[in-house]
Amino acid sequence: MTAPRTLAVPRILAVLGAAAAALAVWAVVHVLAGVELASTSGEVTAASVIVAALIAGLAGWGLLAVLERVTERPRAIWTWIAAVFLIMSLAGPLTMGTTGAAKASLAALHVVTAAVLIVLLPRRRTR
């Protein structure tokens, strides 16, 4: 097993990368394309996108850390759980988006965040 310190930097970068990727999608969709990113619960701002991605990333990291301590196949189990959570999370944008463009854009935010986390968070540092 790799020491926790060895994994900290790549995992911090993965969480920050997910937030940056989500913010980039938000900027393209909202600022450049002019899509009003609103849901039935309110406006989706840059700050809310960053906070949501950071929370998702830190929760994923926490779950992965627990799985690494209690299972023999933490990466595979974590990937399956992350994929299920992604699918479940899409219910929000698809049911609460105010327009078709907003629904698609909000779903894209979820997919991009999850994709970065699923690919980068469980990676091991190579020596």
Instruction: In whole angstroms, give the CA distance from residue 111 to residue 105.
Output: 10
Tell me what pLDDT residue 127 has. Answer: 46
- 4-29 pLDDT, tens per residue? 567 799 999 999 999 999 999 999 99
For 73-121, how does the pLDDT look when each residue is reduced to its tens digit (9 = 90+)? 999 999 999 999 999 999 988 888 678 888 899 999 999 999 999 999 9
Let me know: does 108 contact 46? Beta carbons within 8 Å: no
Read off the tokens for 55: 């929370």
For residues 38-60, give the mean pLDDT.
Answer: 92
User: Which residues make Cβ contacts (< 8 Å) with residue 73, sequence separation at least 6?
Assistant: none
pLDDT at 64: 96
